[in-house]
Amino acid sequence: MAVAKLGVVVLDCPDPRSLAGFYAGVLGGTVKDENNGEWVDLKVPGGQSLAFQAAEGYVPPKWPAPDASQQFHLDLTVEDMDAAEKEVLALGARPLDAEDRSRSWRVYADPAGHPFCLCAD
């Protein structure tokens, strides 16, 4: 029996509204800001909600870095890898490891520097 159920995944960042907007562009959903931009929720249709929390002195994870942890990353499943790549780049993502087109995943950073992967469905 489970002790708990997952409520929300929270990403620290310098600008919660902006990062919630980025992920709303990628995943769809509704952005809810009820805390003056200090905490912003993204309600994703049919999926796990994400939240974004303002973090003073935020330092993005390093990827790849043998001496520093990436902390975590999101795997986002897509049907058309090339089309999805164009969309996330237009929304402000930057490639971290997306050159190898033979793999079933590509790695990017969101505008706050969190790594995420586009993964073939």
Please state, as a whole number, how many other Cβ atoms lie within 10 Å of the Cβ of residue 115.
20
Shortest CA distance to 60 belongs to which of 44, 42, 73, 50? 73
Do the bridges between strand 105-109 and strand 9-13 make them parallel or antiparallel, or are there none, so unpaired?
A: unpaired
Give the model's pLDDT for residue 5.
83
Q: What is the pTM of this model?
A: 0.88
Residues 65 and 119 in one domain: yes
Please state, as a whole number, how many other Cβ atoms lie within 10 Å of the Cβ of residue 80.
12
Residues 64 and 51 in one domain: no
- Answer yes or no: is 1 within a domain: no
Do the bridges between strand 50-54 and strand 9-13 make them parallel or antiparallel, or are there none, so unpaired?
A: parallel
The residue out of 58, 81, 100 marking a domain boundary is 58
Q: Which two tokens stand for residue 44?
A: 């994703």
**Total count of domains within the chain:** 2
Please state, as a whole number, how many other Cβ atoms lie within 10 Å of the Cβ of residue 59.
10
Residues 85 and 50 in one domain: no
- pLDDT single digits (tens) 24-77: 999 999 999 998 999 999 999 988 899 999 999 998 888 777 777 667 789 999
At residue 18 the predicted structure's pLDDT band, cuts being 50, 70 and 90, is very high
Residues 63 and 36 in one domain: no
Give the model's pLDDT for residue 70.
67
Consecutive H or E run containing 90: helix 81-91
DSSP state of 58: -
In whole angstroms, give the CA distance from residue 121 to residue 103: 12
- Answer yes or no: is 17 within a domain: yes
Domain that holds residue 34: 8-58
Q: What is the CATH number of the domain that holds 12?
A: 3.10.180.10
Give the model's pLDDT for residue 98.
85
Q: Which two tokens stand for residue 27?
A: 């995943």
